[in-house]
Structure 1
């Protein structure tokens, strides 16, 4: 693939990778707080399935960075272990996302259409976690050929005998024997495409018929019934359309690869874009389940309001403490000033007494009637009281 086409494909993958990270982090921001919230009407199992979808998508987006680096540089720049890890995560994306969507449709059917005991069990977080762990174990068993036959291939292109130079390109690939590859693709297509598609359509279509029968027997209002039916039909159509449009070309190309030659440049470019379609579906699934579920949106809105109210109360309390501290500063300053004024007045009074009693002053001055110490003491006391009263007037004006 030439540099121009490779750049175009790489930019497309980079753009979608950024969108995938943004969408999945937003869904994680909405769903994760609801998993352990006390009063949420949405079943915990549905929330956990969406959470597992997001974690799987984020893992796939991280692994997708290795593919983007290969597209940018034109060669695989990592080890064989990194190649195997990338192919395992990429293959898990093709299994895990459809299986979780399959489990979500089954849970919706069980909680709505079956008896109360099975519905309550299907809605629990523990039961959902066990189902996901069991599915992951089965997927890892099915992926044994990926562990066994993934490797980095080295190609030597454009040898130049004059300069003794050759172009070396390394590619990460999964190349098992033809027989193993055929059976692996067949089993993967059945378990990750045909069975989930059948389960999604069957269980989601069964819900409207059950709601219709219950509405007839219990005389439920037709308006609420119509809203529920429209919601279920919209979900079924969206999931089915995305599932068929994104996964059908991928599996057709996987089997066509064994029949037709894929060495032309145009076919290589088409195969890259077909390989991108499963990533599109995996990003779309959690977004659809989050946006179409009114219970998730309303519960998230309540949690956000509570957090804002709590933050507002904390800020109000902090500002109240700050205001009280600022108000207490002038009174502390006035008490400090009062102590300084009283000390200075007292020292002044002592100096005056010392000066009056000194012999030099008696010799130099003409004989005059001396003021009694009692009178000077009274005058200093009066001056002290006047200074204190003036300070109190100034402090009251400052506080007001």
Structure 2
């Protein structure tokens, strides 16, 4: 897919999300930092949760844009995705197996190894557990692969997208949230499918964002308010279940104005009716009010934290006042480095956790040395995987397509 200006901004967001995942795990898994936890480090450490949801929404956007640009059969789409996902995942799983054996004195079962390679591992462990000690982030790949298979099998029809089928998939996902909280079976396969469906609306919302990118009104201020509301939605406890699909869906809905602003083509936008003009405002207002109500009544958060979350959107005043300065800061200090991190984000996401575990076990160096060492090793490994290792498989895929044609 050709890198347009709007694709570049999505790459930056991907890079920032990957950075926040790494930062969150660095805070949690580095003893020197973890032992000195406070409200600020807890807040930053929890941003890893939002980042994974951002990855899901981004995935829906990018897949729709790529399929729209070049129609593919179900088979070719799946083959492309498997070649992109599995080679680096294989390396991450093999490293995790070694760590589980030699650092945590536990030999993973063959079922667990295969389940993480496919992947079908989840935090809930319906089919198999993730590598909790060495690399739990693999859980999100199970959802990604499910999204790809469901999209290829159910949505791609005769090399075109079936809008009716993706709507059916979305509705099934909404209804599945009820069965997720009220299981109808003890069968692990049934519960696994319900879990996958319950998370599907997050990905499908990203898919719809691309499809309707020039049909709804948004602007810089609305986009920034949307961004400021995301932590509020993510931290709201709508149920007692930590892995709450309802919260994830609301998070994705609240992110719509932000992503629309990033990818909209101002020249292609049509005249808006009343609904199209104020839909973004309605989405933000509704999700903010509902989330704020739950946070305010949640005694598990200190009162100061609750107030801080609820007042977070007021930072838009600062953003508006210093808009030019923020835009320049973004252009000079954020755009290029995080765009590059975005290009390595998949490898960074999968490899950083095992590296953290290894350094925490074998390195007694001071924190000021350990962190740069972690960053250097993570970057070097990610660069090798993305720029040297992955292209081998990309080349094999291209040769296969050339021979077939």
Output the TM-score relative to the length of structure 1: 0.28
Q: Larger relative CO (CA 8 A, sep 6+): 1 or 2?
A: 2
TM-score (norm 2): 0.28
Query: If each structure's helix is expressed as a fraction of its own residues, which one has the higher value?
Result: 1
Structure with larger Rg: 1
